[in-house]
């Protein structure tokens, strides 16, 4: 028996990294999964994004646990595409209990050809994409009279980190903004039994952080690398550490926890 037998978790950005970890952990605990990821590159984003084969591996891992999964290559900025995924997921799996609005991008390069476009794209994915994900799921949650929504923010949603580039500033702005969005949802939907929280990871051992570009940026800007250090003696946390928090927030143990911005940051934000 799993903690989430008979439930359905909707996870965006599910092809790799934190999103894959969340999808697989929910499946291990008995939940079926709706999974989406863009699975292609956004031109202004300088860090490689997930591929169709990455999403295919997430699907394989969930199915290997004996759980059902409805999946699609969909851009969270595209409300019409996302609406179709939600409709198919509810039609096939019967419900949505947990919404994990995890999809996000970062663009940290300082040689951006178009800083304004980089800013717009990061904000559109990280903020508009979250709004699309949550609002398109809400009718199902409201009809059920219960549900838990967890939005992935960042330590950049607590401190003004992210660097001076358009994409980096868009990252800090969007990760702060989803906290305000979460609090607005709490004010409007708590009476209907829906809970909303954000999680704020420090650096996580995923391809968003562990890649050649980020290594180059930190090598060329030691002050930025120093600013990214945690207080606990660990360079990065693991995706499963974030999944532990996400699953707890969705569990009955956290049934009265709502409106919380929860750091999983190894002490980073108190530096």
Q: Write out the H or E segment, with its range, that includes residue 245.
A: helix 239-250
The region, left, alpha or beta by phi > 0 then psi within -120 to 50, assigned to residue 136 is alpha
* pLDDT band (50, 70, 90) for residue 84: very high
Range 88-97 average pLDDT = 98
pLDDT at residue 223 above 70?
A: no
Rounded to whole angstroms, what are the CA distances from 85 to 14, 74, 79, 114?
13, 8, 10, 32
What domains appear along the chain, each with residue ranges and CATH number? 8-261 (3.40.50.720)
pLDDT tens per residue across span 126-157: 999 999 999 999 999 999 999 999 999 999 99
Secondary structure of residue 21 in the 3-state scheme: helix
Please give the Cα distance from 263 to 267 (Å, whole number).
Answer: 9
Please give the Cα distance from 94 to 20 (Å, whole number).
Answer: 22
pLDDT tens per residue across span 110-129: 678 999 999 999 999 999 99
- What mean pLDDT is reported for the chain? 95
Rounded to whole angstroms, what are the CA distances from 212 to 7, 48, 108, 164, 169?
39, 10, 12, 19, 21
Contact criterion met (CB below 8 Å) for 83 and 140: no
Rg, the chain, Cα only: 17
Q: Write out the H or E segment, with its range, that includes residue 2.
A: none
The region, left, alpha or beta by phi > 0 then psi within -120 to 50, assigned to residue 17 is left
Beta bridge partners of 204: 237
pLDDT tens per residue across span 1-25: 799 999 999 999 999 999 999 999 9
171 catalytic residue (yes or no): yes
The reported pTM is: 0.96
Q: Which of 4, 26, 119, 171 is catalytic?
A: 171
Rounded to whole angstroms, what are the CA distances from 9 to 4, 97, 147, 214?
9, 6, 10, 31
């Amino acid at each position: 028996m799993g903690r989430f037998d008979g439930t359905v978790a909707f996870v965006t950005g599910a092809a790799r990294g934190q999103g894959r970890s969340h999808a697989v952990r929910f499946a291990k605990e008995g939940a079926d999964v709706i999974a989406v990821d863009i699975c292609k590159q956004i031109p202004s984003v300088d860090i490689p994004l997930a591929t169709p084969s990455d999403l295919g591996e997430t699907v394989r891992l969930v199915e290997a646990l004996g759980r059902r999964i409805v999946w699609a290559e969909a851009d969270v900025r595209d409300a019409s595409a996302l609406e179709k995924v939600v409709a198919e997921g509810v039609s096939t799996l019967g419900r949505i209990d947990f919404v994990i609005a995890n999809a996000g991008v970062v663009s940290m390069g300082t040689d951006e050809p178009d800083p304004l476009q980089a800013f717009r794209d990061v904000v559109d994915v990280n903020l508009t994409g979250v709004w699309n994900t949550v609002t398109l799921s809400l009718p199902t949650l409201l009809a059920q009279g219960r549900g838990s929504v967890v939005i992935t923010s960042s330590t950049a949603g607590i401190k003004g980190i992210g660097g001076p580039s358009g994409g980096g500033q868009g990252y800090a702005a969007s990760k702060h903004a989803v906290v305000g969005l979460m609090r607005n949802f709490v004010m409007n939907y708590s009476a209907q039994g829906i809970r909303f929280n954000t999680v704020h990871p420090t650096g996580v051992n995923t391809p968003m952080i562990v890649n050649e570009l980020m290594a180059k940026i930190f090598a060329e800007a030691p002050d930025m690398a120093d600013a990214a250090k945690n207080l606990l003696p660990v360079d990065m946390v693991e995706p499963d550490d974030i999944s532990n928090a996400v699953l707890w927030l969705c569990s009955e143990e956290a049934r009265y926890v709502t409106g919380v911005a929860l750091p999983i940051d190894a002490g980073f934000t108190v530096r």
